[in-house]
Amino acid sequence: MKKLAAMVLAMALVFSLAACGGSDSSSASAGGSSAGSAAASGGAQAGSSGKIAVIRNMSSSDHTTQFFAGCIAEGEALGYTVDTFMSDQDDVKMQNLMEQALQQDYDIWIVSHANEGYQYDLVSRAVEKGIKVVGFDCGGEHVEGVTYTSQDDQSLASISLDAMIEKAKEKGASEPVKFLELNTLGLIVPFDTRHAVIEQYEADGKLECLDIINPLTGGDSYSQVYTAVSTALTKYPAGELNGIWAASSGFLDGAVDAIHDAGRDDVVLSAIDISDTEIKRLVEVPEYICCAAVDPYVIGVVDVRLAVLKTLGVETPETYALDAVEVSGDQLNADDTMQTLNKYFADFGSTDAFDTDEIKALREKFAK
């Protein structure tokens, strides 16, 4: 119930931020602060632990909503107010948000997807102010005293690519399996890491990438992907194209419709990053055979725990990668959601990672 409430709150904040372009710090802060102060009651005074800023360099999506929800739920459970900010995947806006947050009285920053070129400088300034920082999927040099978390991107790529290869071979393909890559390169660190796994698979003779389609990071990516995939399906008839792989499941909408409109059930789909949208798609679209994933809610929970441990003087690692799992339609039914995946996978919905005695004591202090 707590997770569901946090996700509803996070979704409301995401839509609010999207409406204002993600760059209005005062508006975003007001929404986050009021939510934080209203949620915790009983025990010690709500918000008395301090204030957390969650600053994310991504667009509105199911993944972002769930990530924010994990941060909010765990932060409030530990006595913090939590403000969320989103840049709409605009590095200029992201830098502005971080600059604005430096002028506020935050005790903790959770920074998501800050890129090389500004991450080190702005995070260093935060650390110099005494702010405890955890970075998720950030680029650039590491700042001393900061923990950098990530999904195990090599594993995510391997899981999703292996599933595509296996299913394509079941349909009669042989190695190297020929596929299209949906990926935005040079902008998002984990997407580049995932692409490097493809390069290794190509060197090993497992895969042959026929074309890379670079979806727009803003604007009408659906139409762009639909048109590009439709063109490729005409260019590569049955037997010449075996699969489509997406570095992010958010790129799949146009691809799914394109293969259906072309009647190409010979082409299998595989992607990374789970959400309610992807669960429904895995159940309903037989060509979609794998979504490799880490629970974004749990990512938010772990990031907050690590940052809070820093405030308590507990030693934390420089880096931490969250393990990935393979989610397929064969495992699911039409009633499944992100709330039910814990029936099938550990570390979905909750996790023991960094749930130390110190964290448990603080949670008990603020228990309702």
Asked if residue 181 has pLDDT above 50, the reply is yes
Count of alpha carbons within 13 angstroms of residue 365, beta-carbon side: 16
Among candidates 356, 344, 346, 345, which has minimal Cα distance to 315?
A: 356
Average pLDDT over the chain, rounded to whole? 89
pTM comes to: 0.86
Give the CATH architecture of domain 153-293: 3-Layer(aba) Sandwich (3.40)
Query: What confidence score (pLDDT) does residue 19 get?
Result: 35
Asked if residue 293 has pLDDT above 70, the reply is yes
Which two tokens mark 228? 């590009």
Query: What confidence score (pLDDT) does residue 307 get?
Result: 98
Which segment of 59-63, 133-137, 169-173 scores lowest on mean pLDDT? 59-63
Asked if residue 196 has pLDDT above 80, the reply is yes
Query: What confidence score (pLDDT) does residue 30 get?
Result: 29
Count of alpha carbons within 13 angstroms of residue 36, beta-carbon side: 31
Domain residue ranges in the chain: 2-151+295-323+350-365, 153-293
Phi then psi for residue 268, to 5 deg, are -95, 155
For residue 187, what pLDDT band results from cuts at 50, 70 and 90? confident
CA distances from 244 to 46, 167, 172 (A): 48, 12, 16
Asked if residue 219 has pLDDT above 90, the reply is no
Give me the residues paired with residue 56 across strands.
Answer: 86, 112
Query: pLDDT tens, 92-141?
Result: 999 999 999 999 999 999 999 999 999 999 999 999 999 999 999 999 99
Asked whether the beta carbons of 30 and 20 are under 8 A apart, the reply is no
Asked whether the beta carbons of 180 and 139 are under 8 A apart, the reply is no
For residue 62, what pLDDT band results from cuts at 50, 70 and 90? confident
Average pLDDT of the residues in 269-282: 96
Which two tokens mark 79? 């006595």
d(CA 320, CA 316): 9
Asked if residue 152 has pLDDT above 90, the reply is yes
Query: What confidence score (pLDDT) does residue 44 get?
Result: 61
d(CA 121, CA 117): 8
Q: Do domains 2-151+295-323+350-365 and 153-293 have the same CATH topology?
A: yes
Which two tokens mark 365? 């202090």
Which segment of 27-36, 166-175, 345-354 scores lowest on mean pLDDT? 27-36
Asked if residue 222 has pLDDT above 90, the reply is yes
3-state class (DSSP) for residue 83: strand
Which segment of 13-27, 213-227, 311-325 scores lowest on mean pLDDT? 13-27
Regarding the domain with residue range 2-151+295-323+350-365, which homologous superfamily does it belong to in the CATH classification? Response regulator (3.40.50.2300)
